[in-house]
C-alpha cells in the first residue's frame, strides 16, 4: 500500500469522524461512533492489522500516521463524551443544596405526652418515684378513703362516670395515693401520672384528661415544704426563675390546709392575670388514718396537676379539644425532641 493513499484515507476518516462526532447528541450514538471508527471491525483497526505486511521504514511511518489519527479520534470522542455527559447527568448528581430532601423520618410525639414527661422528669429529679394505679376504680379508693363519704357535698363536685357493679372511672389520680399508702410505709414520696375522667364536656372541659398526683408522707413535713416543692416545679417547668406564684386557701376533702396555686401570666392584651394552675395541701389526718398511718407521727403533702392546662399554657394552645382531635396539622407542630 503506497503511503500517499494511506495518508489520503486517514485524512478522509478523520474528516468523517469530525463531522459525525460533532453532530452526535446522545451517549449511545457516540458509542456507535466509537465502534464505527475504533472498533474491532473499523477501517482504522483493519489498517493497523495490515501494517505487518509492510517493511521496516514504511511500517514506522504508517504506524505513526495511524496512531496520530486514532489519538485525534479518541480525543474527539472523549471531548464529546464530556460535553454530552454534562447534559444527561443523573439529577441527583446535580446536587442543589436548597432542594428538599427525601421523605422525612421524623414523626411527632403528642403534646400531652411531652408535657407529662417534662413534669415527671422534674419530679424525678426531686426524688419522687413514679407509680401507677388503675383507671377503673371502686368508690373506696376514689372517694371514701380520701375522706369523701357518700353524703359529702364534695362528691357532687366530681361528676363521676359509673360502670356496672359499683365501679367507676377514677375522677382524679388521688386514688393512687390511697393505694401507695396501703402498700408502702413512710417515707413515701411518689407521683402518679395518668388519665382521669369526669362527666363534663365543654370548651374548658373534656370528659377525659390527664393529671399528675404527688404525695410526700414523712415525719415533720410542713406546708412550707409544700410551697417549696411547688415553687421549684413551676419555675422549672415554665423555665422562668422570676415566675410569680401565689398560694390561696381552698378546700379539698383529702387535704387540710388546702391551697390552690396561681401563676401570674400576661394575657393577649399584655395585662397581668392570675391563673389557677394546681390544687394541693397537707394530707388530711383522716386520710392518713384510713391508710393506717399514724397522723400523730407522720404528716404529708399532696398535690394534683392538670396536664392539659400545663400544656396549654406552655405551648399557647387555646382550645382544649384540639388535644383529642389528633389532627396532623396540630400534632406535627410538636416535632421537637
Partner 1 sequence: MKVTRSWLENYIEITNTTDELCHDLTMAGLEVDDFSKIEDDYLIDIDLTPNRSDCLSAIGISRELNSINSQYKYKSTIESNKHNPTCENTDLKFNIVENKVCPRYGYMYLENVPSSCNTPEYINKRLRDIGITLIHPVVDILNYIMIDIGQPMHAYDADKINGEITVRQAKDKEIMSALDGNTYKLNSENIVVSDSTQIMSLAGIIGAEEISVSKNTKNILVESAFFTPNAMANKARILKLQTESSHRFERGVDYNLPQEALIKLSQIIGENKICKFSNINFIDHENFLPNSKEVKIDHDNIRKSIGIDISDNEITDILLSAGCKFDKKSNTVKNPSYRYDLSIHSDYVEEVARLYGYDNIPVTAEKINIEPSKKYIPFEVVNKIRQYFYNNSYSECINYSFVNNDVLEDLDWKNEEFKNHNKITNYMSLEQNKIRSNLVSSLIKNIEYNNNMNSENSYRFFEISTVFSNKDEQVLSCVVNGDKHEEQWSSKSPKFDKYDMTTIVEDISKLFGLNKSDLTYVIKDVKSNGKKYIYMTLSVSDLIRKITENLQEQYVNYSKLPYIRRDLSFIIDESIEYKNILKIIEETNVHSLKKTLLFDLYIGKNIPDKKKSLGIGFIFQDEEKTLTHEEADNFIEKILSHLKNHFKIELRQ
Give, as ranges, the residues between 44 and 103 that touch partner 1 (CB under 8 A): 92, 99-103
113 part of the interface to partner 1, by CB under 8 A = yes
Among 107, 270, 271, 272, binds partner 1 (CB under 8 A): 107
Among 54, 126, 313, 322, binds partner 1 (CB under 8 A): 126
Q: What would the grid cell of residue 89 be?
A: 447527568
b/e per residue 228-245 (b: at least 16 CB within 10 A):
ebbeebbbbbbeeeeeeb
- Region 317-336 residues binding partner 1, contact defined as CB under 8 A: 323-329, 331-332
Among 27, 51, 120, 243, binds partner 1 (CB under 8 A): 120
Nearest approach in angstroms of CB 200 to partner 1 is 9
**Concatenated DSSP letters of 198-245:** -S--BTTB-SEEEEEEEEEEETT--HHHHHHHHHHHHHHHTT-TT--E
- How far apart CA 24 and CA 21 sit, in angstroms, is 5
C-beta of 18 vs 130, nearer to partner 1: 130
User: What number of CA atoms fall less than 13 Å from residue 177's CA on the CB side?
Assistant: 35
Nearest approach in angstroms of CB 238 to partner 1 is 17
163 part of the interface to partner 1, by CB under 8 A = yes
Nearest approach in angstroms of CB 331 to partner 1 is 5
**Burial class of residue 169 in the structure, from the number of CB atoms within 10 Å of its CB (0-12 exposed, 13-18 middle, 19+ buried):** buried
- Region 288-307 residues binding partner 1, contact defined as CB under 8 A: 299
Could you tell me if 277 and 259 are in contact, meaning their C-beta atoms sit under 8 angstroms apart? no
To which H or E segment does residue 287 belong? helix 285-290
208 part of the interface to partner 1, by CB under 8 A = yes
Among 60, 109, 275, 315, binds partner 1 (CB under 8 A): 109
C-beta of 178 vs 283, nearer to partner 1: 283
Q: What would the grid cell of residue 232 be?
A: 421549684
Q: Which of these ranges, 5-13, 32-40, 42-50, 226-234, lies near partner 1 under the rule CB under 8 A? A: 226-234
To which H or E segment does residue 305 belong? strand 299-306
Nearest approach in angstroms of CB 225 to partner 1 is 5
Amino acid at each position: 500500500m503506497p503511503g500517499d493513499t494511506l495518508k489520503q484515507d486517514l485524512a478522509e476518516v478523520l474528516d468523517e469522524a469530525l463531522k459525525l462526532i460533532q453532530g452526535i447528541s446522545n451517549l449511545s450514538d457516540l458509542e456507535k461512533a466509537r465502534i464505527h471508527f475504533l472498533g474491532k471491525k473499523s477501517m482504522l483497526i483493519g489498517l493497523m492489522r495490515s501494517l505487518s505486511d509492510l517493511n521496516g521504514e514504511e511500517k514506522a511511518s504508517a504506524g505513526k500516521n495511524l496512531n496520530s489519527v486514532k489519538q485525534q479520534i479518541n480525543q474527539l470522542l472523549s471531548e464529546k463524551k464530556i460535553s454530552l455527559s454534562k447534559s444527561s447527568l443523573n439529577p441527583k448528581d446535580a446536587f442543589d443544596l436548597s432542594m428538599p430532601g427525601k421523605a422525612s423520618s421524623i414523626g411527632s410525639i403528642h403534646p400531652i405526652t411531652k408535657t407529662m414527661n417534662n413534669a415527671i422528669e422534674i419530679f424525678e429529679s426531686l426524688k419522687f418515684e413514679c407509680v401507677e394505679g388503675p383507671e377503673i376504680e371502686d368508690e373506696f379508693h376514689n372517694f371514701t378513703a380520701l375522706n369523701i363519704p357518700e353524703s359529702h357535698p364534695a362528691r357532687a363536685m366530681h361528676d363521676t362516670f359509673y360502670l356496672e357493679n359499683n365501679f367507676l372511672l377514677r375522677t382524679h389520680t388521688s386514688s393512687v395515693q390511697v393505694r401507695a399508702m396501703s402498700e408502702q410505709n413512710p417515707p413515701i414520696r411518689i407521683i402518679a401520672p395518668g388519665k382521669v375522667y369526669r362527666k363534663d364536656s365543654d370548651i374548658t372541659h373534656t370528659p377525659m384528661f390527664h393529671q399528675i398526683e404527688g404525695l410526700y408522707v414523712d415525719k415533720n413535713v410542713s406546708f412550707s415544704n409544700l410551697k417549696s416543692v411547688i415553687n421549684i416545679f413551676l419555675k422549672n417547668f415554665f423555665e422562668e426563675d422570676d415566675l410569680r406564684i401565689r398560694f390561696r386557701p381552698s378546700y379539698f376533702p383529702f387535704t387540710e390546709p388546702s391551697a390552690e396555686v396561681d401563676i401570674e401570666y400576661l394575657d393577649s392584651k399584655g395585662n397581668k392575670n392570675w391563673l389557677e394552675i394546681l390544687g394541693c395541701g397537707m394530707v388530711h389526718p383522716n386520710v392518713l388514718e384510713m391508710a393506717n398511718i399514724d397522723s400523730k407521727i407522720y404528716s404529708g403533702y399532696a398535690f394534683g396537676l392538670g396536664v392539659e392546662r400545663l400544656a396549654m399554657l406552655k405551648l399557647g394552645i387555646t382550645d382544649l379539644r384540639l388535644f383529642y382531635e389528633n389532627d396532623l396539622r396540630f400534632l406535627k407542630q410538636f416535632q421537637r425532641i
